[in-house]
Every structure is written in C-alpha cells, then in structure tokens.
Chains A and B, each alone.
Chain A
C-alpha cells in the first residue's frame, strides 16, 4: 500500500473506530478491505495495460439515535494502478466525476419509522423490481460501469417515504438531483474505439449536460401468494446519450462528444409467482421520452429459478421492443445492451466455505455472448478469496461482442470486519 493510501486510510479508520467506541451499543458497523487484481490477456487499441490492481476500503456504520430514528453512513476509499480513480483528496457526494473518487460518501441518511410509516432522507440505496439479472423498473439505481461487466451500485440523494399496511406497501421517492451512472473512461479498454475510422478523426470530450431538475417515482407492492408491483417514474435516464459536434483543425476532423441524460417516464410492473417446481419472476417497463432524440421503448424480463439441494439455477430471457425511434443513435445503454438476450446462472455450494458459480448472457442472434465462472472460498472468520474468469465473444457491432478483447481473469482478496 503506498504512502497516499496509508495517509487517507489512517484518519478514516481512526474516525470510524472512534465513532464506534463513543456510541457503544447503539452503534454497529461493518466493512471490508479488498484487493482486486485483474488480468486482461489481450491488448485493446486504446489501452495497452494488461493488468489492473485496485484497493477498496468500505466502512458502514449504523447509529440508533432514538428508538425510531437511525443514522446510516458508509464511506469508500479507493486506489488503483490504472488511473480509474481520482488521486486528489476530494470528497464526492454526487458521484459525477468521470473517475472514481478517492473518497466517496457512499451512504449518509436518517431513517425514521413509526408504525407502518418509514421515512429515509439522504444518500441511500433504493432498489425496485424483482428480477435478478436485469431490472427495467429499477430507476433509482445508477451504477459504476467503469468496467462494464463488473459493476457496482451508486447511492442516490433522495427522500423516500414508505407506508406498509398488511400486505400492501406504497413507496414514494423524490430526488432533487439525479445521480448518473459512471461510464467507462474514454482512454481505457471498456470504451471501444471503432477500428475503421481514418487516422485524422479525433474524438474530444465535450463534457456532460446534467439535468437541472429533480426526479421521482411511486410504487405499489402487494405481498400475498403472488407478489406483484406497479410503478411509475418521471425524471431522466441515468445512462447517457451523446450529442456530437464536428469541427476542423487543420487536416483533422474533431468530434466533440457531449453527454446528456434524456427525460424519461416509465410505467412498469413486476411479479413473483411461486409454482410447485420453480419460481417465476417477471418484470416489464415502458419508457417514453419528451426528448425527440431518445427512443420510446419497452423492456421485459422473464426468469425461472429453482433450488435443488446445494444448486441454485436461474434462467430467463430479456426482451425489448422499440415503439418510436429517437433521432439519436449514440448512447451508452448496458440495460438495453443486455436485452434480446438469454440469461442464466448456476451456483453450487460445495460446503460451508466454498462455492462455484457460472453466469452467462447470450444474444438471441448469437452476435455476442459472455460467460463468467467463479470460485470463492472463505478462510476463517474474516477472509474470502475469489477467482473468476469472464470470456466475452462476438461481433464488434454487438453491445456484448464489442468487448471481445476484454475477456479477463480476476483475483479478489477481501478482509471483512
């Protein structure tokens, strides 16, 4: 660990454990220190690195301020060898930097509950939907897509009011400012540069145009023999589209790319249906935009799942239909990139400490596919080692296929506390 990392981690650890000691029994904590080594056997045209080493320290604390009031907090400290993260000590709240921040407030919220009413205000995680692999209705869950296949959720700043009575729950969410998904860095392998472009075409980052207003949504959930929900969202896509502007600089053609986040309305539903031999989960959303540049489209997921002994099987299909084509075709949309796709996963628990799993996604036209095999083992009370290998194949024109140079192996060592 280098001097900068130690310099950041020491005060963070000191604060965390001091808080823990001060608040005693009303305070609980957890977290981990993780080291991740990624190896890419193939070189990418815009990224000659074959290996990346990352370190992540995550600390989460929960303080019961009163019987009905709880304060939740979490902080991430990251460093990596591949400049995926910022190396300036700037605290991040909105997660709008291109790079991962050195120190990020992952969560900071107050949660109050009385009877069936719960109110949470602040930075938090909000998950909608029931499917496991793709969630069309999960509109308040932006992600860090720096490495597209291995992504992680980002918290959003919002007020969430939930009222639960018997088997019915109403969930209302409003956020003053959208947290957008973090997209791959332009000078790294998860941004695929078209190989057919002439040498004199230069791409330039034109920045991002963030929405000025807030977003919100409403969800009704019923729990019974069948579980189902209906949801409505009004706001913006947390995944960007791109507007381009051409200019000439000598013999070079300069393309300025500016990202923006189209307005979006979503009406969705999801359901979980337990049957005798397997469970069915279904989720669908219809997306409309007042922005003519964006598509109006629908997306759905249908999955079956079953546990047999130590095996867990999930298999399904994600589909999509476009109602109205938008005028813009350049966007970064992993959610749509995984549609028209067969999805599956299988997990086997070898024993209390060891498991293996396989996940796969194969496009219906066979233009792209991804498969990941993983082995994970716990050592004692605190350590876990995980090794996985992802193979990506396909055509350069396919969302998955374009990453065919990015098959990779990952070794992860995690100390949890």
Chain B
C-alpha cells in the first residue's frame, strides 16, 4: 500500500530509481491478505476504532484490492474495490450495503478521506514506480536506522493530489519507513511505518501511522493475520464480487 517513488539530476536520479526499484522488487508478491485494526485519533485526542479486511491479487501497477470494513458495526459490509494500473491512476468503486449499489470514486475526489480515516482514497492505491520521477536527496538516520531520503514527483501532476513526496528507505532491508506528502511547499500528510518484521520472506511494516497535518489527526493501522501469496482468484476482484457481501 502506498508506494511513492523520481529523477532530475541524471547521476543521482539513477541511484534513486535503483533504490526504489529494489524496494519494489523486494515487496513483489502474487497476493496479500491481512486484517487491519485502525485507531483514528482526532485533534482532540478522541479515539475511534475501525477494522477492515484487506485482500490484494497481483502486484505493483497490475494489482487489484478489496477492503471490507468489519467494524464498527454500522459500517460492516462497506467495501472498496481498487483496480491499479501501471500507466494511470487506479479505478475505485465503493459499495455501501444501505443503498445496495456501488459508486465510482471520481479522480477529483481521491483526495478526500476514506471513511473517516486519515488515509485518502489515493493513499490506498498501489502505484508502480514508473509513474514517478525520483531524486536522491541524501542519507539520514531515522528511528535509529540509516536510510536514503528520496524525492518522488508524479510524472503527470494531475494524477495526484500531492505535488511531491519525500521517502525514507532503510538501507539494510529496503523498507520504506516514512513518507511525507506535500502540496507545493506544505506537508499535508505523513506516513510512518514501524514494527518491521519478516513474513514469508517479505520485510513488512506491521504498523502504519498516517497523520493528516492540517486536521491534526492521525490513523494508526495495525496489520494482523498477514499472509502473502495466498491463493486468490481474479474473479473475486470485480464489481460483481464487490456486491457479494460476506
């Protein structure tokens, strides 16, 4: 989830792209399943808990995902289908049981928050690194580990609400540990990835903290029952499948 990745200076850019490509290569899996617990902490420190189930088939730029809320009770059954593309923004549809119909999430609406969390619809896309230009900004220590700091700019800015992002990628295992997303000079969202553990050979952050800087709220997503390369069918990631409630 959320891979943002560029180059301006030919020499440094080559390095940055290689780093990002290595990151993408190391996270390539045929499918993924997890159960996520979300704690939304608003500006007044009030906490709301939500849970969802996440399934993905395919990988980077050619993947499909379904997120289904399982809690709180009143949003149980609400689901989001994301069809990612290598060369353009994803297609997204949301299913709400109360209206018994799906609604396409228009491109211009992707900057809105996803169901009361601090993730925007765009943040839930899995993007291919070829959609971005990269620039290596330097090296920094983050959470005690040496990391590369890389700037990523979407190749066509209209596809993203963010003008650019800064990524920190750990040098020891190529895991993305922090992303800052900017609109011009203003940072609007920051994602911190922690509790990095290896699951079936994949280094994975089990905790993601997404912070909405303007709203002063944050959402902490914790992954449970994480599995890779689970047998899944393409036909379970269609509009028909989205309507099949479970």
Chain A interface residues toward B at CB < 8 A: 28, 30, 32, 62, 64, 70, 72, 111, 113-116, 118, 125-127, 153, 162, 164, 169, 223, 227, 272, 274-279, 305-307, 309-310, 349, 351-353, 378, 381-382, 384, 414, 416-417
- Say whether B28 faces chain A, with CB atoms less than 8 Å apart: no
Minimal beta-carbon separation of A163 from chain B (angstroms) = 9
Q: Is there an interface contact between B106 and A274, defined as CB atoms closer than 8 Å?
A: yes
Minimal beta-carbon separation of B24 from chain A (angstroms) = 27
Query: Which of B130-138, B143-151, B197-205, B232-240 sits within the interface?
Result: B232-240
Query: Which of B59-67, B71-79, B164-172 sits within the interface?
Result: B71-79
B241 contacts across to A, CB distance below 8 A = 113
Chain B interface residues toward A at CB < 8 A: 40, 42-43, 46, 48-49, 71-74, 76-77, 91, 99-101, 104, 106-109, 111-113, 116, 158, 217, 235, 238-241, 244-246
Given A113-B235, A116-B235, A381-B71, A70 contacting B112 (CB threshold 8 A): no
Looking at B91, B106, B109, which has the most chain A CB atoms within 10 Å of its CB? B106
Determine the main DSSP class of B at the interface with A: mixed
Minimal beta-carbon separation of B74 from chain A (angstroms) = 4
Per the bound structure, the CA–CA distance linking A113 and B101 in Å amounts to: 18
Given A32-B73, A352-B40, A384-B74, A116 contacting B108 (CB threshold 8 A): no
Per the bound structure, the CA–CA distance linking A115 and B233 in Å amounts to: 9
Q: Is there an interface contact between B72 and A378, defined as CB atoms closer than 8 Å?
A: yes
Given contacts A30-B73, A164-B238, A352-B116, 6 further A-B contacts (CB under 8 A): A62-B245, A72-B245, A169-B239, A275-B108, A351-B42, A382-B73
17 contacts between A and B (CB under 8 A): A28-B246, A30-B73, A70-B244, A111-B244, A113-B235, A113-B244, A116-B238, A125-B100, A127-B100, A127-B101, A153-B100, A272-B104, A274-B108, A307-B108, A310-B112, A352-B40, A416-B73
> Who on chain A is nearest to B243 by CB?
A118
Minimal beta-carbon separation of A379 from chain B (angstroms) = 10
Per the bound structure, the CA–CA distance linking A322 and B237 in Å amounts to: 43
Given A351-B42, A378-B72, A381-B73, A307 contacting B109 (CB threshold 8 A): yes
Selected from A162, A227, A378, the residue in CB contact (under 8 A) with B240 is A162
Per the bound structure, the CA–CA distance linking A328 and B174 in Å amounts to: 74
Given A127-B101, A310-B113, A169 contacting B73 (CB threshold 8 A): no
A127 contacts across to B, CB distance below 8 A = 99-101
Per the bound structure, the CA–CA distance linking A113 and B158 in Å amounts to: 38
Per the bound structure, the CA–CA distance linking A115 and B235 in Å amounts to: 6
Per the bound structure, the CA–CA distance linking A30 and B246 in Å amounts to: 10
Top 7 nearest A-B pairs (CB, nearest first) are A416-B73, A416-B74, A307-B109, A125-B100, A279-B106, A352-B116, A127-B101
B46 contacts across to A, CB distance below 8 A = 351-353
Per the bound structure, the CA–CA distance linking A274 and B48 in Å amounts to: 33
Per the bound structure, the CA–CA distance linking A347 and B107 in Å amounts to: 19
Per the bound structure, the CA–CA distance linking A351 and B106 in Å amounts to: 22
Minimal beta-carbon separation of A13 from chain B (angstroms) = 15
Q: Is there an interface contact between A278 and B108, defined as CB atoms closer than 8 Å?
A: yes
User: How many interface contacts (CB-CB < 8 Å) are there between A and B?
Assistant: 95
B43 contacts across to A, CB distance below 8 A = 351
A278 contacts across to B, CB distance below 8 A = 108
Given A72-B245, A309-B112, A416-B73, A116 contacting B239 (CB threshold 8 A): no
A28 contacts across to B, CB distance below 8 A = 246
Q: Is there an interface contact between B235 and A353, defined as CB atoms closer than 8 Å?
A: no
Minimal beta-carbon separation of A20 from chain B (angstroms) = 13
> Who on chain A is nearest to B47 by CB?
A352
> Who on chain A is nearest to B100 by CB?
A125
Q: Is there an interface contact between B246 and A276, defined as CB atoms closer than 8 Å?
A: no
Per the bound structure, the CA–CA distance linking A362 and B40 in Å amounts to: 39
> Who on chain A is nearest to B115 by CB?
A352
Selected from B101, B240, B246, the residue in CB contact (under 8 A) with A164 is B240
> Who on chain A is nearest to B44 by CB?
A351
B72 contacts across to A, CB distance below 8 A = 378, 381-382, 416
> Who on chain B is nearest to A155 by CB?
B100
B240 contacts across to A, CB distance below 8 A = 113, 116, 118, 162, 164, 169
Per the bound structure, the CA–CA distance linking A332 and B245 in Å amounts to: 34
Q: Is there an interface contact between B73 and A223, defined as CB atoms closer than 8 Å?
A: no
B42 contacts across to A, CB distance below 8 A = 351-352
A125 contacts across to B, CB distance below 8 A = 100
Q: Is there an interface contact between A277 and B108, defined as CB atoms closer than 8 Å?
A: yes
A126 contacts across to B, CB distance below 8 A = 100
A116 contacts across to B, CB distance below 8 A = 235, 238, 240
A310 contacts across to B, CB distance below 8 A = 112-113
Q: Is there an interface contact between A30 and B77, defined as CB atoms closer than 8 Å?
A: yes
Per the bound structure, the CA–CA distance linking A125 and B95 in Å amounts to: 14
Per the bound structure, the CA–CA distance linking A417 and B246 in Å amounts to: 15
Minimal beta-carbon separation of A407 from chain B (angstroms) = 25
> Who on chain B is nearest to A414 by CB?
B74
Given A223-B239, A279-B106, A309-B112, A353 contacting B100 (CB threshold 8 A): no
Per the bound structure, the CA–CA distance linking A275 and B235 in Å amounts to: 29
> Who on chain B is nearest to A114 by CB?
B235
Per the bound structure, the CA–CA distance linking A113 and B235 in Å amounts to: 9
Minimal beta-carbon separation of A168 from chain B (angstroms) = 11
Per the bound structure, the CA–CA distance linking A307 and B77 in Å amounts to: 23
> Who on chain B is nearest to A277 by CB?
B108
Q: Is there an interface contact between B244 and A378, defined as CB atoms closer than 8 Å?
A: no
B239 contacts across to A, CB distance below 8 A = 164, 169, 223
Given A30-B77, A32-B74, A113-B244, A276 contacting B238 (CB threshold 8 A): no
Per the bound structure, the CA–CA distance linking A151 and B112 in Å amounts to: 29
Q: Is there an interface contact between B100 and A64, defined as CB atoms closer than 8 Å?
A: no
Per the bound structure, the CA–CA distance linking A274 and B108 in Å amounts to: 8
Selected from A114, A164, A306, the residue in CB contact (under 8 A) with B108 is A306
Per the bound structure, the CA–CA distance linking A116 and B217 in Å amounts to: 41
Per the bound structure, the CA–CA distance linking A32 and B75 in Å amounts to: 11
Minimal beta-carbon separation of A274 from chain B (angstroms) = 4
